[in-house]
C-alpha cells in the first residue's frame, strides 16, 4: 500500500520500473525485422493513410528498411506534405512520392497502381474514431469498407506481393 511505501516499509524493494507489457496487458509481440527487411528492401511500397498518426509512423519505419520507393497516399494534403518533408530530411536512397488521393475513388486508386506498380501495400487509411463514426455510419462504411475493397482489389489486379490491412478500431 501507499502508506507502507511512504514510510519506507520492506515493500519498497518490490517496486520495479513499469514495463510496456504492464500497460498493454499482453505479451510483447516479437518482430522478425530480418524477414520484414527481406520483403521491403528494394520494393515499391504504398502506405495509404500515410498522413495519419499510424500511417506516418509506418512510413518512418518502412523507409528505414530500404524500399526503392515509398508512395505516401492520403486525402489530406497538409499531412502528406508534413510526412514527405520529414522523410526527405532522412536522406535515404528511397524515392518519396506524395499522392493526394481518396481510397474511396476506385478510378484514382487504379491510376496510382497503374502508374507506380506498388508491390507491398500497407493499408492504414480509415476513419478510426468509433464513437464519431457510429453517428456517421454511411461515411464509415464508404471509407472503411469500400475504400479497403478498392485498394485490395487494385493490389490483386496489379499482382502486388503483399497487402497488409492495418486494423485498429476500424475492425
Catalytic annotation, residues: 170
Residue 125 CA from chain centroid, whole number: 8
DSSP output for 112-124? HHHHH--SEEEE-
Query: Which cell numbers hold the place of 139?
Result: 461515411
Q: Within 10 A of 163 (CB to CB), how many other CB atoms are there? A: 17
Residue 27 DSSP code: P
Q: How far apart are CA 169 and CA 75, in angstroms?
A: 20
Amino acid at each position: 500500500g501507499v502508506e507502507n511505501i511512504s514510510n519506507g516499509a520492506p515493500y519498497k524493494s518490490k517496486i520495479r520500473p513499469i514495463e510496456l507489457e504492464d500497460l498493454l496487458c499482453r505479451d510483447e509481440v516479437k518482430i522478425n525485422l530480418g524477414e520484414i527487411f527481406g520483403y521491403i528492401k528494394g520494393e515499391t511500397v504504398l502506405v495509404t493513410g500515410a498522413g495519419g498518426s499510424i500511417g506516418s509512423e509506418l512510413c518512418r519505419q518502412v523507409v528505414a528498411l530500404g524500399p526503392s520507393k515509398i508512395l505516401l497516399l492520403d486525402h489530406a494534403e497538409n499531412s502528406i506534405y508534413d510526412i514527405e518533408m520529414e522523410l526527405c530530411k532522412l536522406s535515404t536512397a528511397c524515392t518519396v512520392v506524395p499522392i493526394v488521393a481518396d481510397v474511396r475513388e476506385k478510378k484514382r486508386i487504379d491510376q496510382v497502381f497503374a502508374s507506380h506498380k506498388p508491390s507491398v501495400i500497407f493499408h492504414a487509411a480509415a476513419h478510426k474514431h468509433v464513437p464519431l463514426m457510429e453517428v456517421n455510419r454511411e461515411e464509415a462504411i464508404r471509407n472503411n469498407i469500400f475504400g479497403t475493397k478498392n485498394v485490395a482489389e487494385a493490389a490483386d489486379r496489379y499482382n502486388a506481393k503483399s497487402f497488409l490491412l492495418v486494423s485498429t478500431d476500424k475492425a
